[in-house]
Amino acid sequence: MTGITAYKCNKCGLVMYPKHFRCLKCKGREFEEIEPAGDAKLLTYTVVDQLPWGMDERGRVLGIVEFANGVKATGLVKADDPKLGMKLKAEWGPVRVVGGEPAYGLTLIPKK
């Protein structure tokens, strides 16, 4: 369970996340809700060293992944040495603390 929902255009089959009012490809307006399926493959990533005030962490890795069914999403990569193409397991979990409360998002953990 990733905690996210993607949308597949009923007209052309384009998979989008997040949802748009119209399909980015054919301008269709009817969609089927789908969940990301299978492993996530790391397409690209960046290391963020300058985070907003209140976040003491340095070297946070944000990545864009693609799931087996074509869903693409951004999440927090929890890998010491990320490599393009690596397989990741997606989970919905805490990504930071805001006002003393955990904020949740997509976390990506290396497959073993």
Q: Is residue 1 part of a domain?
A: no
Full residue range of the structural domain in which residue 68 is found = 6-110
What pLDDT does 63 receive? 97
Q: Is residue 100 part of a domain?
A: yes
> Cβ neighbours of residue 25 under 8 Å, at least 6 residues apart?
9, 12, 14
pTM: 0.83
Domain count for the chain, please give it: 1
Q: Is residue 92 part of a domain?
A: yes
What pLDDT does 64 receive? 97
3-state DSSP call for residue 88?
Answer: strand
pLDDT 10s digits, 21-75: 999 999 999 999 999 988 899 999 999 888 777 676 778 899 999 999 889 999 9
